[in-house]
Structure 1
Amino acid sequence: MDVESKLKDLPAWRREGDEIRRSVNAPDFPTAIRIVDEIAVRAEELDHHPDIDIRWRTLHLALTTHDQGGLTERDFTLAAIIDDIAARHGA
C-alpha cells in the first residue's frame, strides 16, 4: 500500500510508524464529546476503533489495524469519515 499517496487525500493526517494520526480542535468541550460520540458509532459499524485522547476541546486520534500489524485500507476509510464528522462540527 502506498501510504504517502493515500495521505495526499487526507492532509490533516500524518504517518507515525505504523499509525496515522491527527488532532482535531473542537469549538468547545461539549462539541468535542459529540465528535467522539459520532466517531464511536461509525467505528463500531466498521468494527475498526481508533485510539482517542481527549484534552479539553482537542482530540488526538490514532489509527492502525492492530490485527494486521500496521496500516490498511480500513484506517484510511475511517480517517476520511473522521474528517467529515469533525468538519460538520466546525472543528
Structure 2
Amino acid sequence: MAKLRDDEIQARLASIRGWEHLGDMLVRTWQFASARRALEFVVQARGVSDRIGHYPEVVLGFRTVRIELNSRADGGLTEKDFELAAELNALPDDR
C-alpha cells in the first residue's frame, strides 16, 4: 500500500476523532473507569485488527489504552492506518 503524503494525512485527520499525528504514527489514548474495561477494549481492538489484517502497537495501562498506528513495511502511514483508526473509534468506549 502506498505511503500517504503529509497533505493527505492532514486531510484525513479530521475524519478520525481523537487521533493525533505524531512523527510517522497515528496515536490515540483512551481512559476507562476500570482496568477490566480497558482490557476488554484491547480484546475488541484485536478482533477489529484481525478482521482488517492490520495490527497496531498497543500499550495497556491500569485504566488506559494507547494505540499507535503505522505501516512500517510501507515506510509511514497508509490508508490501512486510517481505516483501522476509524474502526477502533466505532468500538464502545464507555468509561
TM-score normalised to the size of structure 2? 0.87
| 1:11 CA displacement | 2.8
Distance 2:65 2:46 in 1: 13
Distance 2:77 2:93 in 1: 27
Superposition CA RMSD, Å: 1.1
Could you say which residue in structure 1 is the equivalent of 2:44?
38
Could you say which residue in structure 2 is the equivalent of 1:17?
23
Distance 1:47 1:66 in 2: 14
After superposition, the C-alpha distances for 1:25-72 in whole angstroms (9 at most, x for unaligned) are 112111111110011011012110010101111111100111111100
Gaps in structure 1 of 5+ consecutive residues: none
Q: Select 1:56's aligned residue among 57, 62, 65.
A: 62
Distance 1:42 1:60 in 2: 16
Aligned residues: 89
Q: Select 1:89's aligned residue among 78, 86, 93.
A: 93
What SS does structure 1 have at the residue aligned with 2:45?
A: helix
Q: Report which of the two has the higher share of helix.
A: 1
| 1:89 CA displacement | 3.1
Alignment of 1:8 with 2:8, yes or no, is no
TM-score normalised to the size of structure 1? 0.91
In the alignment, residue 94 of structure 2 is paired with which amino acid?
A: G
Q: Select 2:83's aligned residue among 71, 77, 83.
A: 77
Gaps in structure 2 of 5+ consecutive residues: none
